[in-house]
Amino acid sequence: MDEHALDCVRKAGSIAGEARELGINLVVPGKTLASLANEVEAYIMEKGAKPAFPVNISINEVAAHFSPNNDDKTVFEPGDVVKVDVGAHVDGYIGDTAATVEVGSRNWQGLIEASHRALMMAVEMIGDGTPVRAIGGTVKRSILESGYRPVSNLHGHEMKRYNLHAGLSIPNIDDDTLAWIRNDMVIAVEPFATNGNGVVNNGKPGNIYRVIRDRPIKDEKAAKMLEDIRQYFGTLPFCERWCDAFSNEAAHHLKLLLRHGAISSYSILKERNGAVVSQAEHTLLVRNGKCEITTRKM
Ligand code: CO
Pick the catalytic residue: 21, 39, 113, 165?
165
Active site residue 190: yes
Measured in Å, residue 221 CA sits from the centre of ligand 1 at 33
| Residue 190 CA, ligand 1 centroid: distance in Å | 6
Domain assignment present for 257: yes
**Residue 114: predicted pLDDT:** 98
Mean pLDDT, 10 residues at a time, over the chain (298 residues)?
A: 96 98 98 98 98 98 97 97 98 98 96 98 97 98 98 97 94 94 97 97 91 92 96 95 97 96 96 97 96 88
CA distance 104 to 97: 23
3 state DSSP class of 281: strand
Whether 124 is a known active-site residue: answer no
CATH code, 139: 3.90.230.10
Residues with CB in 5 Å of ion ligand 1:
96, 188
Residue 219 Cα to ligand 1 middle (Å): 34
Q: Residue 86: its pLDDT value, please?
A: 98
Task: Give CA–CA dist 140/257, Å, rounded.
Answer: 39
C-alpha triplet 192, 141, 121: angle, nearest 5°: 75
pLDDT at 203: 85
- 189 C-alpha vs ligand 1 centroid, how far in Å? 7
224 lies in some domain: yes
How far apart are the CA of 66 and the centre of ligand 1, in A? 13
Q: Same domain for 92 and 141?
A: yes
Q: Give domain status of residue 55, yes or no.
A: yes
Which residue out of 190, 240, 253, 282 is catalytically annotated? 190
Both 210 and 186 in a single domain?
A: no
Total count of domains within the chain: 2
Q: DSSP string covering 98-151, please?
A: EEEEESS--SSHHHHHHHHHHHHHHHHH-STT-BHHHHHHHHHHHHHHTT-EE-
Co-location of 191 and 258 in the same domain: no
d(CA 63, CA 82): 9
Q: With a threshold of 0.75, does the pTM exceed it?
A: yes
Interatomic CA distance for residues 273 and 27, integer angstroms:
25
**Pair 227, 282 in one domain:** no
pLDDT, position 214: 85
List 96, 158, 240, 271, catalytic entry: 96
Centre of ligand 1 from the C-alpha of residue 187, in Å: 9
CA-based end-to-end distance of the chain: 23
Q: Could you give the CA distance from residue 140 to residue 138 in angstroms, rounded to a whole number?
A: 5
Note whether 140 and 154 are same-domain residues: yes
Q: Does residue 298 sit within a domain?
A: no
C-beta of residue 115 within 8 angstroms of C-beta of residue 279: yes
Alpha carbon of 106 to ligand 1 centroid (Å):
26
Q: What is the CATH number of the domain that holds 242?
A: 1.10.10.10
- Residue (of 272, 235, 256) closest to 89 by Cα position: 235
Q: Which residues pair with 173 in a beta bridge?
A: none
Residue 158 CA, ligand 1 centroid: distance in Å: 9
Say whether 281 is catalytic: yes
Q: Element (H or E) spanning 36, and its range?
A: helix 33-46
Q: Indicate if 99 and 142 belong to the same structural domain.
A: yes
* Residues of the domain holding 21: 3-200+272-293
Question: Do 59 and 92 belong together in one domain?
Answer: yes
Same domain assignment for residues 55 and 174: yes
Is residue 157 annotated as a catalytic residue, yes or no?
yes
Output the pLDDT for position 205.
87
Is residue 3 flagged as an active site residue?
no
**What pLDDT, on a 0 to 100 scale, did the predictor assign at position 298?**
53
Q: Tell me what pLDDT residue 40 has.
A: 98
DSSP-assigned letters across all residues of 44-101: HHHTT-EEEEEEEEEETTEEE-----TT---B--TT-EEEEEEEEEETTEEEEEEEEE
Q: Are residues 54 and 152 in the same domain?
A: yes
- Give a yes or no: residue 52 inside a domain: yes
Whether residue 247 is found in the same domain as residue 156: no
The residue from 89, 157, 253, 282 that is catalytic is 157
Does residue 161 sit in the same domain as residue 43? yes
In this structure, are 121 and 246 located in the same domain?
no
Q: 184 with 161: CB under 8 angstroms? A: no
Cβ neighbours of residue 245 closer than 8 Å, sequence gap 6 or more: none
pLDDT of residue 204: 86
Distance of CA 19 to the CA centre of its chain: 13
- The verdict on whether 85 is a catalytic residue reads yes
What is the per-residue pLDDT for 228?
97
Distance 289 CA to ligand 1 centre (A): 22
What whole-number distance in Å separates Cα of residue 244 and Cα of residue 250?
A: 6
